[in-house]
Each structure stands twice: as C-alpha cells, then as structure tokens.
Structure 1
Amino acid sequence: MEKPRQRGRGNVCCLGVASVLVLSLLSFLIEGISWGDDIQPVIASIKVQGNRRIEESAIKFVLESKVGEAYSPSRLSKDIHKIYDLGYFKDVKVDVSDGPSGVTLTYRVVERPTVEKIVIMGNEKIKTADLEEKLGLKVHSVLDQQAVQEGIQNLKSHYREQGFYFAEVESTLKELVGNQVGLELRIKEGDKLKIEKIQFQGNRLFPEKKLKGVIQTKEKGLISSILGKDLYRDVLVRDDQMRLQIFYQDNGFIDIQVGEPILQINKQAQKVSMTIPLKEGPQYKIGKVTVKGDEVYTQEELANELKSYMGSIFSRSALRQDMQHLSELYSQRGYAFANVEPMTEVNEASRKIDINFEIDKGQKIYVGQISIEGNTKTKDKVVRRELPLKEGELYNSEYLKSSEDRLKQTGYFEEVKVETQRRPGENGVVDLTVKLTEKPTGNITFGGGFSTSASILGQVGVEQNNLFGTGLKANLSGQLGGRRSRIVLGVTQPYFMDLPISAGFSLYDRFAEYPSFETNRLGSEANVGKHLFELVQANLGLKLEKVGLDEIDEYEIPRMAGDGTAKLKTRTDKKTRETYLVQRRATRTILPNDQEENSSTSSIVASLSRSTLDNFLFPTQGSRINLSTELAGGLGDNSFYKGELEMSQFIPLAFIYPLFPSSLWQKLSLRLRGNFGMGGGLGNTGFGKKNEGMPLYERFFLGGDNNLRGYDFEDVGPKARIERFHCSDLVKTSEGLKNEGKNTPCRQYNPIPEIISGDAIGGDYSALLSAEVYFPIPLTLPYVKAMRGVGFFDMGDVFAKGDAKDFFNIFSYRKSMGVGARVLTPMGPVRADIAYRLDEGEKRDDQDQEDQAGRIKFHFGFGNSF
C-alpha cells in the first residue's frame, strides 16, 4: 500500500488562507446577489461535519458566529483560525448556504490522527523509560509533527549529554485503522566520544595544567574513564567555559573572553581533540578601598572584615562576598534592608581598580508578629522557646539563622524555613512566619550485626523524642553483644518547668568485657543542663552505681623457693584445656592492691559541649567539642578523678580550589580529631575506707574501630607481665591449690617460668590524634541513603602514671593509616575500615609480644565516632 503523504502545519496554514479567500469571494457574490444594501442576513443554523472524536459542542463553543446573530464574513475567518487553534484538526472548511430563514453555516473538519503507540528500538545503553520521558509524547495524544521533531531533538541532546556524540534517531509514522498512527523511533547509539586531548590557546599567565584543573572535562585516562569525566558532553563544555570565565575574573582578568571550543573529531576512532581559545587581557590589582555612607561600624572595623584590600589581585567573587558580608553586618544591628552598592573605577593605565562600597543603612527594623505554621503535633511554645528573636525586639539576621538551626537540631521537623514580610503601612516592622514540616519523632528499632569491637550484637529500642508534642524525650533500649551489652531507660525534659534548663534521669545495666577483666555496672544518673552561650551546653549530674568486677581467682600458695607466699592465679587454656598458674606483675603500673570485686561509686559529673556540625549523621563542615569531668568519692567505695577532652573539626577543602584549581577539592572534606584523657586515684577521702587507686574499669584504653585503628580492641597501653608455671592435676582445696597425687612443687615441672603475653590493664593518660579525608562514592544501592569513602591516619597511646612525660612525645605514639567507607542506612551509619599499623613493632617492657604481628586489621562498626 502506498504510504499516504503527511501534512504538517505549513499545509494547514495554506489551506486556511485559501479558505479565507474563497469565503471572501463567496460573501461578495452573496451580498451582491441575494440581498440589498440595507438587508443583513441572519444565521439560521450552524452545522459541523467530519468530527469523530471531538464533540460538536466543543467546536461551536469557540466560534464567534452564533445562531440568530447577523451573518458576518469577517467572522468566518476568525472561526477557522479558532478551530485550528484547538490543535485537533488538520483541515477546516466552511460552506455558506442561503435558506428561507437565513444563512446556514456548515463547518467541514478533518481530524488529525491520534498516536496509538510509540515504539523505541535500538537503545542499549539508555533505558527505554528514560527515553520516553525525554521524548515528551504521550500515547492517545493528537499527532503533532512539530512536537515529534522537538521530541527527537530532545533524544539526541540526551544522548550527547551521556557522551554519545554520534547518536542518530530516525522516525517512521505508520497508519492504523480508525484515523490512528503508530510512531516508531529507531536509534543508532554509536560509541561514546572520548576526549583525547585538551589544549588552550592564548593563555599567558596560567599553564595548561592549572587550567585543566579548573574545568570538569578531562582527557582520557584511567581515573577520568572510571569517573566518566573523559566524555565529550555539550552541557559540561558550556559549564567549563563559565568556570574558566569565573576563574580568570577572580584572578584580575576582568576582560577575559572564552571562545567556543575548536573540535577536531576522529569519527572512526571515536575521539576528539578540543582547543579552547582565550583572550586574557591585562591583569588588574586593587587600588583604593573605601566605605562611604551611613556608618554603624568604624572604617577600621569594616576594613578588617573585607577580603578585598589594597594591592591584592582583583576578584569578582571576593567583591560579591564583601557586599553580602557588609549587608549581613548591618542586618545584625537591626538594619535588615541595608543597601550596599560596590562601585568600581577601572584605571587602564595603572591596571588598578578602586572600590568604593556605598552603604545606605535605611531605618532600624523591629520584629512584629511571629506566626507558626505546620506544627500539627508540636506545641507552639516548644517552637517559640527555640527562637532567639522575640516579638518587639530589634531585628538580627544572625538570630534569624540561629532560629532555623536550633529548630532543625531539635529533630522534630523535616523542613524549617523562617520567612520575613514587611508589615503594610509600618516600614520599621517585619512579621516573621515560621513554616514547619513535621516528621515522625518516635522510633521502634530492631537490628543486629557485627562489630570488631563488640563481636556479634543485637539491639532493640523504643524512643520518642517529642512526647505529646512537649519536647519530652523518653527512651528504652537494649543491646546484646559478645563484649558489650546494655539496657538503658532514660527521660529528658529539654525545658524543665518551662525554664531554659534541661533535666534528665536514667537507669542502666551495662556489661563490658576488657582484655583482662569483666565488669557489670548497675546504676542511675540524674543531670541538669543549660545553654551558657549560643550552641554551648553545660551539664551537671550525680551518678550512683554498683560495679561487679569479675577477675581471675586468687589463691595463696607457697613460693617456689619456699620463703613465704605470693598471690598467684589460675587460668585455663581454652585450646588445650590445660590449667596453669600465673603470677601477674605490672611493669609500669601497679594494680590497686585493695581493688575489690564488688564496689560502689558515687560521683559528680560535669561537661561542656559545643557543636556546629551541619549534619550529625554525615557531617561535612563544622566542629564539635566536649569537655567532661568526673569526681568520685563521698559515700562510695572508689575515690578518683577523671577528665576527657574530645574535639572534631570538619573542613570543606573547597578553599584549596583557588590555589590548585580542580573540581575534586569541592567534593572533599577534612576531619581533624583529638581526644585526650587523664585520671588518677584520690586516696582515702570522704566517709569510710576507699580504694586508693583508679579502678581498672575507669582507666583509659585504646585500640579498635572507634579510635586507634590497626590495633586489637582496647589492647594499646600498659600491660601486665605474666609468668606461667606448668603444673598437672591442680585441684582447689580449703588449704589452697595442690597437685593431687604429687608431692613435688610445681617448680620441678618447669624450673624456668615462661613469660607469656600480658593483658592490657589501662592507663592514667591517653592521647589520640586523627586526620580523615572524606570523598563521595556515587553509587546507588538498596536501603543506602548515602555513601562516602575515607582515607585516614591515626596516632595515639595510653600511659601509666610514671610515664606521663611520654604523653607529650607524639613521635613515640602508635601510628596507623588506611582507607574505609561510611554508609548511611535506615538503621544509622555503618563504618568499615582497613588499617595498616605503621609501627615497626619494637617491644616495650609493658607491651605485648603479639604486637609484632598482624599489621593489617579490618574494623567494622555502627554509629559515628567523635
């Protein structure tokens, strides 16, 4: 069957014009023959013919000609155009016939076909669903040739954005029954066009290497191929032109011109060489910098706040930042609508630019009404107490930003936005609207996993952070693991009795396994807290706990030489099931002789903390500082002091970009971390007999996935020296240990004691320093919200009281480095690291011989480490 000829809008327009001419001639004949000059014909009826899908009433609705009105030939032309504008017809004609009652108008229409199906073929690299979205055509829609061509062009553009520079799209329309058509699109994707070489033409000051670091597009290479940066994409190239423009203008070249790239395409090899022409012009420096207008600050104060200063290279970005910063400074003093205009004067002869900031501070602005929207659960007072800005007070932009930050930090809201509106008729007043989107604040969690520090673990928890919309926090959680188990019940009111003071109470039962002992701690803690300054929180609490210390049993037996007694202990080898005697000697620390298996502790705990992290789970900038102290004595058995300082700083590395231009820096963030601790016994103070030394379980330990990676869990620091004497048939009697059936002492079985690996016994001082560089990992995985990689370097150590001098010798610290990944899941952050220990393994008197081996460690854990 012969394929019917397709007609587009051009044919339709020609038909429309021809129809108008015919109607004009027809009206002339009718007027000249049928009626006299004084008689106007009346429209007796209007008919529509040829319509199948479109209702007749819909067509008549757009007509200007109406039944009963006077006939007008000029209206017929407008009627035809309006029917065409409906978009459903490819041909429209009108017949005019005379009758006894008046004129009859018959509109004859030919409907456009509908697109019954759309078939895309030949695509292998891009999903059909993505192409259908880019095409923009819908099944059962009226065929529009112009829309089809636009859709085809969209597909080609999409392929070029993905690197398929030579992709082609061919279209075919097939007629179907019932005035319907099928649209077939055949795609020839071709190969991706890779960039073989990038050159610059006209660059004088900056070498090509530096300019290549400015742009996103890269030459073909291993890393660029993995990241897909070596593909030629029109969108990225246009963005690179803008990047070069900004880079030059920020380095004093205000007349820079970046031309269109010159492409040399090797179609057979699917490669392209790109040359970017540049016209740099002269480089300008800053001459005078002045600030004129309304003075709220002194000239010296403002000059110290500006990035633009005399003699520096002119930068448009710095100029914009200075303008915004000056506006911010004035708004902090109540001038919310201060106008700052930077005026520049270019001296081409001296190649200097004078800058004058003209400031119109306007009038002081006060806060009017504060409205809250979107808090369907949270009470108004819970929101208002987080707002530093109050009704009637002087406007302060810093407080406005702080209001948003504090509301976000509550964790009650998905989105927070504070909008300002000038009050009509009162120029000095602005009303604030706090727009909130609440999120669920209650959680029931079940989970399990594996951690190198806690072995296999399971956890369950119930938590509500905004109970009854009052801000009250309540939680009950439990965790069961090989080395760590806990049950905690806690309640906290952030604003106790509507005062800016938090109050909390908790009960807990914790089990912990250390290298040489185990602890069971049952206790309670009550605390109060207050914001001393913005973002600075102080807490004071009282802790009472009962601690059970589970160690190896001690027995009195004769010394080998027969002179007196010594405290020895028994231990059973888990592999050989052999029971042997051990004598424990601490080389650089002395275990408390009076440390009892069960003891109580009453202590006062205090802390100061400050956090400016942009995201608690996946921070990229900001800092966190926490200083905590504990003083034990009073009614408990233990008497000691303990202090810890924890610091973390996240720094986006985008500031390196002007020095070493590369888009890589804008994606990296650096984390610097320092944790320090010290403690000791206070002797026999308070009421009753006290354990004089610092309890074993309160000492400092390092090693594992939370701190010093590359080492076993809490295995860094002072060690106990253990001597092992082999015996056989050991039995426990009321008189002590005896060799049943043997009358000879143990010494004759092994005359020379065997020195075996000692267990970590903790220290009185600890130090940990760490540097981490985070980079994004662009992978999409199920149940993964975000993912990033990390490279790290750790160094730290634990010291006994006699080795305090080594605390300041960082070169003697244990060191490790490695790489890892951080994955944000619905259950929280997951950490995985591979660490390489950098120590050569020289043996210290108090260190384990096993430290010589196993320099590569794998660490895995849940949660963040601060």
Structure 2
Amino acid sequence: MEKLANNLTKGIDNLIPVYLRIFLSATFLLLSGTGFAQETTFEDGKEYILGGLTVTGLQSYNEQTVKAYTGLRVGQPIKVPGDEISAVIKKLWGLELFSNVEMYYTKIEGNQIYLELHILERPTLNNVTVYGIKKRKVEDIINDTDLKKGKKITESLIANTKNYLQNKYKKQGYLNAKVNIATTADTSGTNVQNMVVNVNKGDKVKIRKITFEGNEQLTNKRLRKALKNTKKKKLFRFWKKSKFIAADFDEDLSNLVDTYAERGYRDARVLSDTFVKVDEHNIDLIIKVEEGNKYYFGNIDFVGNSVYTDRQLSQILGIKKGDTYNGVLLKERVADDSKPDAVDLTNLYQNNGYLFSTINPVEVSAVNDTIDFEIRIIEGKETYLDHVTVKGNDKTNDHVIFRELRTRPGQKYSKENIVRTIRELGQLGFFDAEQIVPDIQNPNPNEGTVDIEYSLVESGSSQIELQGGFGGGGFIGTLGLSFSNFSLKNIFNGEAYKPVPMGDGQTFALRLQASRTFRVYSLNFSEPWLGGKKPVRFNLSLSRTQQFATGYNSNGRLDVQKERGFSITGVSAGLAKRVQWPDDFFTISHAASYQLYDFNDYNSGLFNFGNGSSNSLSYTLGISRSSQGPSRIFPMSGSNFELTAKFTPPYSLFSSKDYKQLKEDINSTTERLYELQDLDRNTEEELEFQQLGNDLESMEEERFKLLEYYKIKFKGDWYTTLVDKLVLRTNAEFGFLGAYNHDIGDVPFERFYVGGDGLGNFTLDGRDVIQLRGYQNQSLTPYITNAITGRLQQDGGTIYNKFSMELRYPLTLKPSASIYALSFLEAGNAFNNFNEYNPFELKRSAGVGLRIFMPAFGLLGIDFGYGFDSDARPGSTGPSGWQTHFIIGQQF
C-alpha cells in the first residue's frame, strides 16, 4: 500500500501544481499508514495532539535544527491532513536544500498522533574542474557562475551554469559552443559531489557573405559600411573581425536604419534578417529592407521659447526649409548624447541655468514629401546651485579641490562648467580621471535649486626613480623622488608624514645621479596657487652638475681626475598665471634664471674653451593654452600648445669691447690652426699650434664671458577621438636660437639635438633634446670640425622643426596602471643656421610602441621605429633602419 501511494504521488507530480502536489502527497502517505486506504475517503482532516516528531534521512544536518525549522511542537493540536502539514513541506522545499520531502504518521494512540519527516538532502559541491578554456580564466568562470565549494547542487544550478556559458561564448562569436556538465560522488565527505564542466567553444563562426534585398536608393556597399561591427570575410582586413556577434549585429541594424534616416528615408525599416548556415565555420547574412519615400524638411517653428529668439535657436539648430530630411541630425541638434559639450539646443539652455528645460521636436504635418516640425520648448525655472560637495578625497585637502571647481553654491547651473570641472580635476593628477562622477542631487523645479556632489577616487601622485647600471667607465646610480601632492606647511608636523606631508597640491622633486665621472643634483618646488586665492603658479629650482676629466693610466684603467672638470650651477624662479583672455585656457608665465658655466682645464671638444667661465642670466616669457583632457595621462580631446621666448640682456650693446676685431682674430687664428692640422708639424710649428690653441681658448672665453642670445620655441599637440577610444595625436614643433650681435655669433650652449628617445637626463649645456624615433640618440644633429682638436663633433643645431602623428588606443586606464598602444609617423631635422634651413628636408620614420603609467614609477615605454633616411653622422649612408627606444619618465 505504501508503494502504491508513492507511485500515485509521483504520477501526480507531473500533472498538478506544487502546492496541490504537497497537500495530496501528505494525504496519501498518511492514509497509507492505516492499512485501510481502500476504505478511506477524502474528507476534512481530523484534529489530533502531536505526540512526537522524528526526522529521518539526514546526512549533514542536525535533527533538532530541522525540527525547530518546521515550527511543529510536541503537544500542539494538529489537523491531519491539514494546512500545518502542507505548510511545513512547502517551507522545506523552498530552502532548495532537499531533493525530496515526505511526511508519514507512524502511529495513533487515542487522540495523539506520531509523525515521521523523511527528507533527502541535495549533494554539496566540493571541487569544480573546467576543461576547454585557459587556466587563467577558470577562476573568473567559477566566480561568475557561483560554483563555490559548499554550494548545493540543484537542477537549476546546472541548467543556469550551462546556459550562461553557452550564451557567453555565443556573444563572442562561438555560435557552435557546447557545454556539458557532469557530477560524480566524492568519498572524501558526506553527501558531497565533484563537478566537471566541459566547454567546447568550437571555432568562431564568420560571415562569408552579406546580402541585401529591397534596396534601390542606397547601394550594397553603402549599407555594408553602415554595419560598423558586422563585416564579411575579406583578405587583408585586420582592423575589423568578420565573426558574427549577435549584440553587435542588433546595434548595426539600428545603424542601418539611421543611415537611411540621414538621407531622408525616415520610414525605412528592416523587414527581416536571416542567417544561413553554410558550414560549421561560416554563415551568410540576408537582410531585407523597405526604404520608403524620401522626405524633406518643411517649416520648423519654435514654440514656448522666451529666453532665446527664434533666430538664435535656428542658428544652433542649423536646419533650413528644403533640406533633405535627416532624423539623426535633428536629434543631435536638439540633444547630442554622444558629446557632453556638443553645440545643441539642450546644452544652450543647460549651460545658462535652465536645467529643467525640455525640448521635443514634433511632426505637425507631412504633406507629400515635406514634413513640418514644431520644436516645443518648456524652459522651466532658472536653476541655481545650492550645495556643492566632494567625497572620496582621502589624501587631498578640500581646499585643493574646491579652488578648481567651476561650480560654486549660488551660481547658475551650467553643464559646461560641470564638464570643465571634471577636466580640471582630472588634470590635477591626484584622482582617477575615468572615475570622476558628478552626481546631481535634490533637484527642485519649483524652487529652481539643485545640489552637486563630485565623487572622486584618489590615485597615486608620488613617484620614485631608482636606477643602477654600468656606463661611462663605472657604476651609475640614480635616485629620484617626486611628490606631486606635497604639503610644505606640514613639513615640521611629524604626524603628517605618511610617508611625507601630502594634500596641498604642491610639487616637490629631488633627484640625485652620480658615477665616478659625473654628479648631478637637482631640487624643484612648485606651488600652483601662490597666496591661495588665484591660480598663480610659483616655481623654484636649484641644480648643480659636475663633470670630471678622464683618461687611462699605464695599466689601461680609467683614471678620473677630479681636479679637472666642468660644472654648471643654476637657479631659476618663475610665475605662471591663468588668464581670462582670449579664454581661460590660456596661461602666461615669466621666469628668471641664472647659470654659471665653470671650466677648469677641461678640453673635451664639446666647448671651444677649456678654462674660464660663462654666465647666463635670462628671462623667459611663455604663452600656453591647455585644453586637453579629460586625463593628463591619456588625453582624448582638446589641445596643448606652448610658445616661449628666452632672452638674455644684450651686453655687447653697452660694451666698449670691439667684437668685430675679436671675431676677425678668432677667424684668422682658426684658419691658421686648420692649416697646421694638415701639416706634419716641426717643433716650431708645434709650438705655434699650441700657442694658437691657447689664444683661441682665451678669445672664446672672452667672447662668451657673458652669454647673449634669444631662443624661440613652439610646440603644439592636438588630440582627436576618431572612434571609441582610438585617439589621433598630431604634433608640430619648431625652435630657433639667435644672436643679437653677429660678430659674437651663436652661443655654444642652448642648442637643439634631434633624434632618438628624447631623454635628456644628463645634459651639460642647457641643450634641448628632441625626440625623433627611428634614429639613434641625437644622430640628426649637425657636425662640425673642431679647430683645435681637428675632430668632427656635434655642435648642436640652432634651428629645428618636427612633425608627428600618433594613433593611440588604451588597453586599460585603471588607477593602478594605465596602458596604451600606439603607432606613429614622424619627420624632422636640425640645421646649423638659417641659411641651411629647409623645412622640407626632413628625416622620416614610422613605428609602433607601448606606454605604461604606474603612479609610483611614472611613465615607462618602448618604441620600435624605422628610419627611412640616413642620419647626420659622418659616413652614414642608406636608411637608419630599425631602432629600439626605451622611455623612462618622459612627459606625456
């Protein structure tokens, strides 16, 4: 009888809802225990006193725990069959911990009934093994599907896991992906099982052919171009894959309709899209369209506008009567969601305080092929900012952030100012530019107020440079510390050292580099808001460089002679102020600097004299405009240009010294030295050569005792987002070093050295090192013959120009590490003087590279460049060829 009842229960399971099944199961089972089921009829349950409850079938759960969960208590009245029994069974099923739940009664004594609850526990998941995918992706799969140890294995868990994985890989183009899941008992525990997931992704299904039906006005080529992410297989196409991805295809069908709408066919639609399986690896797509008629814009009337005139709104809209209907353009001119700073009607209102304005274009008539529109505007109330707050700045002090905000309490709401604030905060470098989020809170259309909260995520703003290597005859060590969010006022506050005082937005950098042959020390400090009220940047830098003379002793070992050498001691101070005209992206800077060049029996051929000193006192005026953003690490829009002019006083104008005669003496001495260089000199000629060399050094030292020159430089960078995050950077540079007095000529310092990686970590003479990849470092710099040594040496160019284009694409822009790949085209050259200058005589190169920015170490990178032309080195012929460049700490 019990077996019969169980069979009946299982039959009913497939026919009736769960709640009814539970009730009838309990009824059958209770009746089967009497032995007289055939004489029992279904009627209202009889009320008993619960005399006892036992739980059987348990493997891992405690019996008392299960009893407590049922809510049944010995001694309580209970109706059998009745709602209490049904509720207990339903409650236990709802836990999804058991694969079977049954209730029996074991005996009846008078008005007392004894029940038995029999349950079958679901197995517990122990280990999961995944086959068919890379090991490094297994953990992600387990996390995504929640296949964690201890999880109860249910039919829904297995089904959901299988569906998730198949859909996951189908979205990636694996339309034939199959997933099989099996479980096996694990004897290491009680009622535990292991799961094996077999993933067979198969090959990616590619599109062999795309066919259009019903198109007469637009060609197949034009429609295929509209499918931006769905492409058919084509030889040599590598920038767009031909795999079929359903989500991309759905988006492309919308693009297809938009393509028609842009050309006047507003009724165009896709009637059907079908893919035909060619084989396991290829499909054909068939897209059937209905084009409809071509339409034109008719009258466009503005309704509800009082702040702006119809003429002002028409100028922004930019659509005239008679123009071909373009639904996409109309939508963009009303509200372009793709650009936060777009020129459209919505931004016109929102940039001037009307946050609650709404603008809707409505078709009012369509006669023949002409459509009339009304642009219906609800302007709303002018909106003002009530509260402006920031959160997430754990290190940076509030005043550093608030002084950069262009949205302040009491101001009119302006979307343009919010966008600009995001750019300014990103440019600080203290926060992750990708995660700066303005949250519009508490909008009150009636009062015309709104709150803004900026959510920030701190990023590392300090860098350490620690390098060691061998070169120049010995070990070279470098230690650099840069703190770009420094706090000078807390320098004596021990509690503020974490590890240094931080939070006030100042920059402090210290760099030490030394070897047996040279030493370099530099210290820089910058305060971006001098006085704390206006954006006036103050800069102070101190530096000292020492280079020692070297030679080789009788044992062939390097001999460093520290009593002979060359040094530069320099100090500079500057102020830079952000101005409001022509716009507030402009900055005007002023700097004064002094350098002492001191020679002590140091004849390296790099300079024209080996004893004495030169003094350089200069003033630099700079005009710059920086609108690049949103991140300084990976700008995606805007531009950055800088024009600087560096001047020294025209000392010769006030001097009684005859520089013309000095020039003639130098020229005649140089000519005689060249003559003697070509001779097999006798003793007398050797003495003359040495004396003339000393005389030339003395005259050169006198000539350049006080350096006078002017130096003009221009550099411009433009950033344009082409598609997604693919950015085009274009660059142009120019530099010229001139002299006031042609009798003195160009100074031997401050020259331009072009070629290579552009790193100028160890420069002795104020030179500008210009990057031009694909060539060896400074190899495009002109050479001259030294009159004293007779050797060819790089004299440095007095004029250069350079042009470059880079395509950049980010691999990740996370705060911990920003990585982007690039390809480049470059061209440039350096010249001895303006007479030799030819802007079209350029050295060309192309290549690819990678950049990695980590907050603690700055910018690291590598470039592989191919130089198409020969460099300036003597005897160099043919192309420079492939060159590898390592980038360390270079500017962005």
Partner of 1:318: 329
1:390 to 394, 399, 408: 408
Aligned to 2:881: 856
Closer/same/farther in 2, CA of residues 117 and 377 from structure 1, 3 Å limit: closer
| Alpha-carbon offset, residue 171 of structure 1 | 3.9
Question: What displacement does 1:623 show?
Answer: 0.7
Q: Cα RMSD over matched residues?
A: 4.6
Aligned residue number for residue 508 of structure 2: 474
Mean Cα displacement is larger for which, 102-111 or 709-718? 709-718
Q: CA separation in 2, counterparts of 1:429 and 1:779?
A: 38
1:445 alignment partner AA:
E
Q: Which residue of 2 aligns with 1:673?
A: 731
Q: 1:700 to 1:323 in 2, by over 3 A?
A: same
Q: Tell me what 1:257 maps to.
A: 269
Match of 1:379 among 374, 397, 409: 397
Asked if the contact 2:719–2:727 (Cα under 8 Å) also holds between the matched residues in 1, the reply is yes
AA at the equivalent of 2:459: K
**Which residue is equivalent to 1:90?**
99
Contact 2:596 2:615 (C-alpha < 8 Å) held by counterparts: yes
Name 1:575's counterpart in structure 2: none
Give the counterpart letter for 1:48 in structure 2: V
Query: Would you say the 8 A contact 2:31–2:40 is kept in 1?
Result: no
Question: Partner letter of residue 827 of structure 2?
Answer: D
Alignment of 1:108-123 (within 5 A): 108-121=118-131
Correspondence for 1:556: none
Structure 2: which 5+ runs fail to align? 1-6, 336-343, 487-500, 549-564, 652-704, 759-770
1:832 CA drift (Å): 1.4
Structure 2 SS opposite 1:211: helix
Q: 2:209 aligns with which of 193, 197, 219?
A: 197
Q: Which secondary structure state, in structure 2, belongs to the residue aligned with residue 832 of structure 1? A: strand
SS of 1:371's partner is strand
1:817 and 2:829 aligned: no
The Cα of 1:461 is off from its aligned counterpart by 0.9
Residue 754 of structure 2 corresponds to 702
* Deviation of the 1:252 alpha carbon: 3.6
Distance in structure 1 (CA, Å) of the matches to 2:184 and 2:16: 24
Which TM-score applies when normalising by structure 2? 0.73
Shift, 1:477, TM fit: 1.6
Query: What is the deviation of 1:633?
Result: 1.7
Counterpart for residue 147 of structure 2: 137
Alignment match, 2:553: none
Q: Which amino acid aligns with 1:154?
A: Y
User: For the residues of structure 2 that align with 1:802 and 1:545, how far apart are their CA atoms?
Assistant: 30
What's the secondary structure of 1:671's corresponding residue?
A: strand
Distance apart, 1:543 and its partner CA: 0.6
* Cα shift at 1:822: 2.9
CA distance in 1, matches of 2:601, 2:364: 80
Q: Are residue 543 (structure 1) and residue 601 (structure 2) matched?
A: no
8 Å Cα contact 2:381/2:445 also seen in 1? no
Shift of 1:627: 1.4
Matched-pair contact (CA < 8 Å) for 1:59–1:83: no
SS of the aligned residue for 1:217 comes to: coil
* Deviation, structure 1 residue 327: 2.3
SS of the residue aligned with 1:696? coil
- Separation in structure 1 between the aligned mates of residue 242 and residue 300 of structure 2, nearest angstrom: 43
Could you give the per-residue CA deviations for residues 467-514 of structure 1, whole angstroms, max 9, x where no partner exists? 23222221102456999985320111112222312222110235799x
> 2:83 pairs with 45, 53, 74, which one?
74
Distance 1:42 1:276, change over 3 A: same
**Equivalent residue for 1:798?**
831
Q: Which residue identity does 1:536 align to in structure 2?
A: F
Match for 1:48 among 51, 55, 58?
55
Q: Give the Cα separation in 2 of the matches to 1:450 and 1:339.
A: 68
The answer (yes or no) to whether the contact 2:590–2:622 under 8 Å persists in 1 is yes
Residue 465 of structure 1: how far off its partner (Å): 1.8
Counterpart amino acid of 1:54? Y
Please, which moves more after superposition, 256-265 or 625-634?
Answer: 256-265
Separation in 1, partners of 2:648, 2:12: 90
How far off is 1:334 after superposition?
A: 1.7
Report if the CA contact (8 A) 1:696-1:762 is conserved: no
Normalized against structure 1, the TM-score is what? 0.75
Q: Does the CA-based 8 Å contact 2:525-2:539 persist in structure 1? A: yes
Q: How does 1:611-760 map to 2 (within 5 A)?
A: 611-614=626-629, 615-633=631-649, 637-654=706-723, 666=724, 668-683=726-741, 692-706=744-758, 707-709=771-773, 713-714=777-778, 716=780, 720=784, 759-760=794-795
One-letter amino acid of the structure 2 residue matched with residue 643 of structure 1: I
C-alpha distance in 1, partners of 2:111/2:256? 77
SS at match of 1:390: coil
Asked if residue 774 in structure 1 is aligned to residue 790 in structure 2, the reply is no
Change (3 A) 1:780 1:8: farther
Between the aligned partners of 1:814 and 1:101, the Cα distance in structure 2 is 109
1:719-742 Cα offsets, whole Å, 9 max, x none, are 53678999xxxxxxxxxxxxxxxx
Give the C-alpha shift of residue 611 in structure 1. Answer: 1.6
Q: 1:48 to 1:711 in 2, by over 3 A?
A: closer
Give the deviation of 1:154 after TM superposition. 2.4
Q: What amino acid is the match of 1:417?
A: V
After TM superposition, give the deviation of residue 278 of structure 1 in Å.
2.6
> Judging changes above 3 Å, is the alpha-carbon distance between structure 1 residues 851 and 59 closer, same or farther for their aligned structure 2 residues?
same
- Separation (CA, whole Å) in 2 of partners of 1:308 and 1:519: 69
> In 2, distance between residues paired with 1:503 and 1:65?
79
Secondary structure (helix, strand or coil) at the match of 2:151 reads coil
Distance 1:126 1:158, change over 3 A: farther
Query: Quick one: structure 1 residues 605 and 124, their matched pair in 2 at CA, closer, same or farther if it must change by over 3 Å?
Result: closer
Unaligned runs of 5+ in 1: 554-569, 573-590, 655-665, 685-690, 727-755, 842-846
Q: Aligned match of 2:384 in 366, 373, 379?
A: 366
Deviations 1:687-728 (A, max 9, x none): xxxx943312124443444444455544557653678999xx
Q: Bigger relative contact order, structure 1 or 2, given CA contacts below 8 A and separation 6+? A: 1
CA distance in 2 between partners of 1:346 and 1:58 (Å): 73
- Alpha-carbon distance in structure 2 between the residues aligned to 1:95 and 1:571: 107
Displacement of 1:777 in angstroms is 8.1
Answer yes or no: is 1:333 the counterpart of 2:336.
no
Q: Is the 8 A contact 2:869 2:878 kept in 1?
A: no
Code of the aligned partner of 1:201: E
1:215 is aligned to 228
- The amino acid of 1:824's aligned partner reads I
CA distance in 1, matches of 2:11, 2:722: 56
What residue in structure 2 maps to residue 731 of structure 1? none
With over 3 angstroms needed to count, the CA separation of the structure-2 counterparts of 1:447 and 1:303, relative to structure 1, is farther
* TM-fit CA distance, 1:424: 6.9
> Residues 450 and 860 of structure 1 are in contact (CA less than 8 Å); yes or no, is this contact kept in structure 2?
no
1:442 maps to 462
The aligned runs of 1:429-578 (5 Å cut-off) are 429-447=449-467, 459-467=478-486, 468=501, 469-479=503-513, 486-500=520-534, 501-510=536-545, 520-533=567-580, 534-548=584-598
From 234, 244, 249, the counterpart of 1:237:
249
- Structure-2 change in CA distance of 1:724 and 1:39 (3 Å): closer
Once residues 172 and 731 of structure 2 are traced to their aligned partners in structure 1, the CA distance between those partners, rounded to angstroms, is: 40
- What SS does the aligned partner of 2:176 have? coil
One-letter amino acid of the counterpart of residue 387, structure 2: Q
Q: Matched residues in 2 for 1:648 and 1:551: separation?
A: 44
Please, which moves more after superposition, 594-603 or 503-512? Answer: 594-603
Q: Distance in 2 between matches of 1:229 and 1:545?
A: 58
Cα deviation per residue 1:331-383 (whole Å; 9 max; x = unaligned)? Answer: 22222222222223462621x44343222221122222333333333222222
Matched-pair identity in %: 21
Contact 2:650-2:740 within 8 A present in 1 as well: no
Assess if the C-alpha contact under 8 Å between 1:823 and 1:831 holds in 2.
yes
Deviations 1:428-482 (A, max 9, x none): 222332333323333322136899xxx9986421122222322222110245699
